[in-house]
Structure 1
Amino acid sequence: MEIFTFKEGSLPLLVSMPHSGTHIPPEMAARMTDAGRSVPDTDWHIPELYGFLAELDVSVLQATHSRYVVDLNRTPDGAVLYAGAPDGLPHTSQYISCPCPRSRYPLSCGSMSGYSSVRLMRG
């Protein structure tokens, strides 16, 4: 499964829905807490709210995977995107049931490191 869908339009407008995805690979979900599996940091209704975009000729990028797998509007190195901005990442200790330290990338501990944000963003 691709980490996002992309519909190319001819108008010079890109609509991005980076936090609307909910898919979590089963091997990652097995290591998550109930709170994490409920994907509380999802923008649940954005695709429906912008459903009218299908009638317009604009480009649309929409996440398929939860932001706990890959956050599409973060840099691969997790750098802060503008001065004064928090990193915006959830506290992983709430969502992962393993004794690992907090990380720059959600769910990047133990056997789940193969699914860290960096790995998925780089392909």
Structure 2
Amino acid sequence: MDSFEVIQGAGPIVLGQPHGGTYVPGGVQVCLNDNGRALADTDWHIARLFERLLPEATVVRSHVHRYVIDANRDPSGASLYPGQNTTTLVPVTDFDGQPIWQDGKAPDATEIEQRRLAYHAPYHAALEQELARVKAQHGVAILFDCHSIRSRIPFLFEGDLPVFNTGSNLGKTCDARIEDAVHRIAQGSGLPSVLNGRFKGGWTTRHYGQPETGIHAIQMEITQRAYMQESAPWTYDETKANRLRRHLQDMLTSLNELAFSGQLTGESQ
């Protein structure tokens, strides 16, 4: 199967979806332990959640599971959150800190590099190409990086996460008007929300978000309790999801209007 998919749209927004895939090559599958094979840390149903919220948006999604290689990690292996528990370019544990590989079967540096070249690099080449195409057409591009996560993961953070976790690396990855629009809608939803809390934006957001060039990036990490069952079999809850989708649609529509307003084009000159 193809390791990623691109759905081209005519508008200025690109939806990145690096963690919704569940594909694990056979040679990797046999090295995972039972815990790893459960694929619990998937961004379950993320493609369905965002489907056609903004038909003119471009979508770039990875089909490869993050246990094979994490498309939202620095390819150099550097940590996004020094001093805090996190997972790596190729995770050794799941989000609960439990091993995912059989004893002696975790990939070595050579295999990690092979996976980077096979899966991580092509996904980002496609994402970069789409951002460049969109910016050439509109003078500006907005990357909205779509993520979801379980509400409670003591290994990674204390307590329950808010439903909406907006990240812009403390305002560095996008124009303040983009950050304000997204966070304002999140706050107005009546659902718990935070800006630049535990999740300030992953490597994708930080790498591509260069407002001075006309390319802006913002990450949205959604807690899964807002649209699905947070344990196996990870069932999608249509009623909850439809309520959530209205707010996500408002966010994307607002960003689309902002891009077309001309207020952001000064950064691309």
TM-score, with structure 2 as normaliser: 0.37
For the residue of structure 2 that corresponds to 1:77, the secondary structure is: coil
Residue of structure 2 in register with 1:48 after alignment: 48
Quote the Cα distance in structure 1 between the aligned partners of 2:115 and 2:84: 19
Q: Any stretches of 5+ residues in structure 1 without a counterpart?
A: 101-106
Q: Provide runs of 4+ in structure 1 moved above 6 Å.
A: 82-85
Q: Does structure 2 retain, via aligned residues, the 8 Å contact 1:76–1:117?
A: no
Quick check: 1:71–1:117 contact (8 Å CA) kept in 2? no
Which residue in the other structure is 1:104 paired with? none
Gaps of 5+ in 2: 123-269
Distance in 2 (alpha carbons) for counterparts of 1:81 and 1:48? 28
2:117 is aligned to 119
The equivalent of 2:18 in structure 1 is 18
Q: Which has the larger radius of gyration?
A: 2
Q: In 2 relative to 1, CA 115–59 (structure 1 residues): closer, same or farther, beyond 3 Å? A: same
Q: Is the 8 A contact 2:32 2:100 kept in 1?
A: yes
Quote the RMSD (CA, aligned, Å).
2.8
Structure 1 counterpart SS, 2:16 = strand
Is the CA contact 2:11–2:56 (under 8 Å) kept in the aligned structure 1?
yes
Structure 1 pair 115/64, CA: closer, same or farther in 2 (3 Å)?
farther
Query: CA contact under 8 A between 1:69 and 1:116: conserved in structure 2?
Result: no
SS at match of 2:65: coil
Paired residues, what number?
A: 115
More RCO (CA 8 Å, sep 6+): 1
Give the alignment partner of residue 96 of structure 1, picking from 98, 101, 111: 101
C-alpha distance in 1 between matches for 2:33 and 2:107: 14
Whether the aligned pair in 1 keeps the contact of 2:92 and 2:101 (CA below 8 Å) is no
Instruction: Establish whether residue 27 from structure 1 lines up as the match of residue 27 from structure 2.
Output: yes
Once residues 26 and 78 of structure 2 are traced to their aligned partners in structure 1, the CA distance between those partners, rounded to angstroms, is 28
Aligned to 1:39: 39
CA contact (8 A) 1:20 1:44 kept: yes
Alignment-derived partner of residue 73 in structure 1? 72
TM-score (norm 1): 0.74
